[in-house]
Structure 1
Amino acid sequence: MSKYLHLSLGMRSDIEVMLAKKLSFNSIAQALGKDSTTISKEIRKNIIIEQKGGYGRSFNDCIKAAEKTCTKKHTCGRCLSKSRNCMSCGKCIPLCDEYVKRICPLLLKPPYVCNGCQDRNKCRLEKRFYRAKEADNRYRKTLSVSRTGVNITVEEIKHLDGIVSPLLLKGQSIRHIFNNHSDEIMISDKTLYSYVNNSLFTARNIDMPRTVRMSPRKNKSKTLKVDKGCRNGRTYKDFVKYINEHPDSIICEGDSVEGKKGGKVLLTLFFVQQNLQLAFLRDYNDARSVTHIFEKLYIELRSDIFGKIFYVLLLDNGSEFSNPEALEYDMQGNRRLRVFYCNPASPYQKGGCENNHEMIRRIIPKGVDFSNYTQEDINLMMSHINSYSRAKFGNRSPYDVFAFQYGKKILKSLGIQKISPDEITLTPKLLKR
């Protein structure tokens, strides 16, 4: 059996059985054809903690209870008998100022778990177990998550960015930076290359000396997410709940529109109530470019106007939207909007945005390189689209509805102008040079 295959559920079940038989790590490793360090890491990484007592004895892992030196009574105030000693029940632990945790000394050395302990049914201390099914579930979840994002926090990315980007912009290589700052970086140079290539830092891969001379790889690695836990508390279910609690919230749907693969990309922002859509040209389809656009809008519109029109932002699950905190808060930590995500593979949950993309495709067909256009061209296209009348608004245009609610000055700041009905063009001729 190969030593380099991942552990299967069957192997993990064998580990659990052999732990109950008190076999050593070496014996388990030999039986499974693995290295003993693999078994040790597997067990320690997947320890399950249980706080329960033994037969007829409640949980209490206070050192004074174990040594029978505790004299406190009625600390929690729940016992019917005020004369009952606290160490007999253990409910006082969260309230007792003399509580000191006791850990079984056997858990500090191999096998680190209670699976094979004969006294565990009588023990009142915290217990630790290795369960094959739970360990395999953790492995599956970790395997899935590891393919979707970066295994560091947003704060850690900022820390690395402060070290790496200034030196890259000076012309230094990743290898040189890593060799001189390995204690501060705390990740491998290969991982550092991956972070730079996925545009997680201010400096980009084009700033690396040799990248300019190298041909692009045929199999480009998949773009990584900045924050793997970005959906926590921001799911579509959370969005529906928030809107029900705040029915007057202004909803904006965000999405990306690709031209030629690997070329420039559009960020589209669709205001649901007014059917008005904005589009911004980006050089890269990454989280940093999205954040940059919102920072620019926040500064140009001022915080008070920005807060009027950007309140709730509903996004899809693309990696370019995986840094919600950078969108939700300004540089001073003040909240400026709330971000939520659609369910995976559910574009209908932001149907207005998707439908409006059809009008963009009338002017710029799918597959056309956006590099041929400037932001002024994109603004002109969106001005024509937003000036097109809608039956749902009594044949008024999204421009008219938005201008009535928020004024023409904001639209001018956003690069949108009114196009007369007879001048509206929704074909490629509009941007033909």
Structure 2
Amino acid sequence: MANFVSPPIAAGLGAGASALALYGDVWWQRRQEREHADTAWERAVLPGPAALAESRLGTHAGSVLYALNPDERVVPFSPLRRSELLSLVDWCRASDGKRMWQVMGGAGSGKTRLLIEAVEQLAGEHVECGWVQHGQAVTAAEAALTRRGRVLLLVDDVDASPRQQDDLAGMLTALAREPSGRVKVVLCGREFASWWARIRAAMDPADQAVLSPAGRTHIPSALADATDQFQQFQGTVRQYARYFDRPVPVASLTGVTTAISVAELHAAAAITAYNGLTGPVELTTALRQLFTAEETWWRTNAAEQHSAITLPLPILQSAIAAATLIGADNLKQAVRRLALLPGLTASSDERRTELALWLHQLYAQRGGQWLDPHLPAYLADRYAALCVATHPGLPAALAAAALTT
């Protein structure tokens, strides 16, 4: 090059090339770091409350229970909850350094739906929202701190297990020591009294002060009065009739002597629309018909999608109850736990494996767990309770299975 350009120019070009090479190295390193951070974020959080199985069989077209999940959003968000929604969203938008909010209410009260609606409200406002996967709270916090801009972490079912609460304590400590306060967290559970004080007591006093909740949303477990129940039932039946592509039946809810939860009312309305029930619809009868319809869908799905699952209904009932009550962290654990259930103790390992895979693929899984069907908690718990009451040997089997690692 010195034969064609002057030495000063050649030196300048050489320096420029070196600088460009250095810039390229820095750019490539930062790109790798960003990709690593994105991967960590995607492993720790979900875009919604549940994750679909890797190769889920069939669809949820015949599942009435799945249609009742809050993220299906069949029924518009209730205007009666608008003040709670605005309080939560306003806190998310604020830059006052207050990092935590709590949402509390009984099963079926509408907690998860409130969080879903809050995330929807924040869409387009440069707030990155992530639902923390079960057992990934610390990793989620660390990944959130690498994100650009404001981040909102949502932890549903915080009172589900002691292990999750221990993981949560580590997450909160990490967030408390982040100076900007741009990462916020919403904790959502049925109650806080039995475990929240224990977590706070183990914290450094300085961290505890930073994490003082900015507020708490308490959602009543039951609807207000009979008039409210009547009006909501009529409107909800219309919404589910549209969802299931059915004519709107003329029906009214009866057999309600006390205030009922939103989950119960929606369940009764869904099966009323699905089965085309007319006239007085008794609540207990409606729930029984809903579970019967779901059992019919299980058997149809198993026969069409997984011919290896040719088990009597009582065994399927026990397997679903085990999946909803104790779940499993992986396939091997699921197979070992199924081996303890009545009717499966003498079955082959291959048959239990096929059953476990079918359970894993039947529904999406809550919080990214391997086996924890994403279903309305109140209704899933009620169905499991009915199974336990019906099958005498099931309670002891479930207790033993829960201890199986």
Is TM > 0.5 for Structure 1 vs Structure 2? no
Structure having the larger proportion of residues in helix: 2
TM-score (norm 1): 0.17
TM-score (norm 2): 0.17
Q: Which protein, 1 or 2, shows the higher relative CO under an 8 Å CA cutoff with sep ≥ 6? A: 2
Larger radius of gyration: 1
